[in-house]
Each structure stands twice: as C-alpha cells, then as structure tokens.
Amino acid sequence: MINTAGSVERAQAIAKKALAGELDPLMACRDLAALRAGLVTVPEGTLDVFVAIASEIDDLPLGSERELWAAEVLETKDAEAADYRGRVSSVVSTALRELLVALKPEEWAPGDP
Amino acid sequence: MFDGSGASEHSAAGPSAAPKSSEVNREGGAGATGQNSGGVGPGERVSDADLKNTAGPYDARAVAPVNHHVLNQAAAGVDDSHEMWDGAAAVIFTVATVVTGPGELIGLGAEGAANAASGARLARALAYEESSAAGVAELLAGGGKVIAGPGARAELRVAGKLASEYGGSAADWVKVTSTGSGPVQIHAYRNVVTGFLTDLKSIIP
C-alpha cells in the first residue's frame, strides 16, 4: 500500500495553509478526511482527528454552501463553528504536523512550523 | 385477443381467418366422457368442454366475430390464431437477429458497454449496502472505535446537547465509527454508560 501522489500533494498543501493561518482548520479537517484513503502512511490516530472533526462539523455551513443559507441562521452557525474551532485548534495543529511528518519526514519535524 | 372482446375470428374472413384445423380436435380434447383430459397437444384445439369451464368467452363461435382493431384495418382477414402469432414472433425475432445480431438484441452488443457499466454500478451499490449494514450491526452490537469525546483526541461538539436531549452527562457521550474495510463507514453518538446509540450516519471515505 502506498500513498496516492495527488492526495499527498493536496494534503501537504492543505496542512501547510492551515498551519500558516491561511485556511480554516475546520475546513482543513474536512478536506483531509476526504483524502484519507490516499494517505496510507499517515498514522490512523492522526487521520482519526480529521475524520472525527469533519464528522462533527458536517452540519455547519463552512464552504461554498454558505450562500444557500439564510443570514440569520448563518450567524448562529458561525458562532457554533467559532466555538468548536477554538476548542479543537490545538489538537488539529498537532495532527496537521503529524500528517506533514508522515508524508515528508525529511522536510518536517514535529516542531515545525 | 387485442380487441378486448375475447373473439378471435374476424368478420372479414379471408382464407387465413378461419382457425387452422379448427375442427380436427375440437371434440376430442375432452375425451369420450366429455371431461377435461388435461392439456392440449401440438396441433390440437381446446375442446368445447374446456372452453365452457373457462372464465372468459374464449369460444369464438359463441361470440360474434369482431374485426381486429389494428391488423384488420390494414389487412383484412389477418389470422390471429396462436399459430400465426407464434410464427410472427419467430419472424420478428429472426429479422431482429439478422439486423442487429443476437448479442446486441439481448443487450450485449452496441449497448454492451453501457450494460457493463450498469453492472459495475449495481455491484458498487451492493457493496455500499453491505458495508452500511455491517457497520450498523457492528455499532449496535457495542463495537466500533471511539473517534471523538472522552478517550479520543478530538472533542465532541455537541456533548452537552446530547446529554440534555437523551440523558446522562456530557462526559458520557462519544462519537464512534465502524471499523470495517468496506466503502462506507457508519458514525454515531454513543452513551458509554447506557450503550444508547443515536444519530447514525453513513460516511463515504
């Protein structure tokens, strides 16, 4: 079993952007959970973080689906997302680093970036 | 037959309209006793006795002949005996086979690729269904893996809501996933104290 090349590149880009603050960590979890089948060298415990959080937020309008939601509901949902984002940001950051190490161990150390 | 009257002869009877060999076995089918001897052999006609025992007015002589709605308008005197229709079906099949090829006729020719794709879709749908069923069964049996909540790295987002809605404390609730290798995973919330399972959903990795 090997990683899927496209999945590795996409996962690395997502993780780097999320760690750099350029991507919502919740959205990163959602995207990475979708790529997990192609990330076989990433530890299961790491992938479980993304999968679990993606599962927890699948009723939150975070992406392009936002335009389909009513403004007053978005306000409530955004507050819920912000609350959960704050509660999981630390574990997500750790998992993102683990992912980068697993995919490119020679370029990443657990303390980076 | 097709006119709904049950009559199978045609008023504009030409030579072919008369049932073939219609009188040969009409009486013989029921036997000497007049009872149903059971079954009609090749070339035989259904006996009057049998016809009287049927629910419909199948005895052509008992009902006034009616023109065939479609065929007799185009060609008066079309024979609609079963021999004619058997023959017609054979001709149609033969022509269709010659024109389209037997494989294509039954869906293995020009449409073969489409049918193969349908088969693949059906196989995938079956795999999804089996995977879902296995995942649900696993979780209902108390199995699965905790991926959020106490005992996992990720925090539950709605633990408090689950506790207020279903009981227990927020710390009693976890998110579990099925662990099979199929194409579908089942996620659900479980109360670890009572084993109560709720909000099952299927996840396609």
Q: Flag whether pLDDT at A88 surpasses 90.
A: yes
Q: What are phi and psi of B146, to 5 degrees?
A: -80, 125
In a mutagenesis test of the B interface, which of A31, A42, A53 is the best target, namely the one with the most B β-carbons within 10 Å?
A53
Tell me which DSSP letter residue B85 carries. H
Q: How many other C-beta atoms can be found within 10 angstroms of the C-beta atom of residue B187?
A: 24
Which of A55, A87, A91 minimises the CB distance to B187? A55
Measure the CA–CA gap between A34 and B54, rounded to whole angstroms.
Answer: 65
Which of A52, A58, A80 minimises the CB distance to B154? A52
The pLDDT of residue B118? 85
List CB contacts (< 8 A) between B151 and chain A: none
Q: Flag whether pLDDT at A41 surpasses 60.
A: yes
Q: Flag whether pLDDT at B73 surpasses 60.
A: no
Note the helical H segments in B141-195.
159-166
Q: How far is B117 from chain A (nearest CA, A)?
A: 23
Q: Do the Cβ atoms of A56 and B152 come within 8 Å?
A: no
Measure the CA–CA gap between B180 and B117, rounded to whole angstroms.
Answer: 26
Tell me which DSSP letter residue B109 carries. S
Note the helical H segments in A20-113.
25-35, 44-56, 71-103
Q: Provide the mean pLDDT of chain B.
A: 71
In a mutagenesis test of the A interface, which of B139, B145, B153 is the best target, namely the one with the most A β-carbons within 10 Å?
B153
Measure the CA–CA gap between B45 and B23, rounded to whole angstroms.
Answer: 8
Measure the CA–CA gap between A99 and A93, rounded to whole angstroms.
Answer: 10
Q: Flag whether pLDDT at A24 surpasses 90.
A: yes
Question: Number of CB pairs < 8 Å for A and B?
Answer: 51
| Mean pLDDT lowest among B65-69, B125-129, B193-197 | B65-69
- Determine contact: A85 vs chain B, CB below 8 A: no
Give yes or no for a contact between A12 and A103, defined as CB atoms under 8 angstroms apart: yes
List CB contacts (< 8 A) between B177 and chain A: 51-52, 55
Residue that the structure tokens 């079956």 belong to: B126
Q: Flag whether pLDDT at B80 surpasses 60.
A: no
In the predicted model, what is the mean pLDDT of residues B104-122? 71
Categorize the per-residue pLDDT at A67 as very low, low, confident or very high, splitting at 50, 70 and 90: very high
Q: Flag whether pLDDT at B40 surpasses 70.
A: no
Cis peptide before A105 (omega within 30 of 0): no
Q: Do the Cβ atoms of B157 and A45 come within 8 Å?
A: no
Residue B23 CB contacts under 8 Å (≥ 6 apart), including other chains: none
Measure the CA–CA gap between B158 and B153, rounded to whole angstroms.
Answer: 15
Measure the CA–CA gap between B198 and A32, rounded to whole angstroms.
Answer: 26
Q: How far is B87 from chain A (nearest CA, A)?
A: 58
Q: Flag whether pLDDT at A57 surpasses 60.
A: yes
Q: How many other C-beta atoms can be found within 10 angstroms of the C-beta atom of residue B154?
A: 25
Selection from B177, B180, B202, B179 nearest residue B190 by Cα: B177
The pLDDT of residue B34? 42
Q: Do the Cβ atoms of A48 and B187 come within 8 Å?
A: no
- Determine contact: A89 vs chain B, CB below 8 A: no
Q: Residues of B at the A interface (Cβ-Cβ below 8 Å)? A: 145, 147-148, 152-158, 175, 177, 187, 201, 203, 205
Q: Which two tokens stand for residue B153?
A: 């790295």
Q: Flag whether pLDDT at B47 surpasses 90.
A: no
- Measure Cα distances from A54 to A9, A30, A57, B205 in Å: 20, 5, 5, 11
- Determine contact: A57 vs chain B, CB below 8 A: yes
Select the more confidently predicted residue: B49 or B44: B49
Note the helical H segments in chain B.
48-52, 71-74, 82-100, 102-105, 112-140, 159-166
In the predicted model, what is the mean pLDDT of residues B158-178? 97
Highest mean pLDDT among A70-74, B24-28, B92-96, B124-128: A70-74
Give yes or no for a contact between B144 and B178, defined as CB atoms under 8 angstroms apart: yes
Select the more confidently predicted residue: B111 or B164: B164
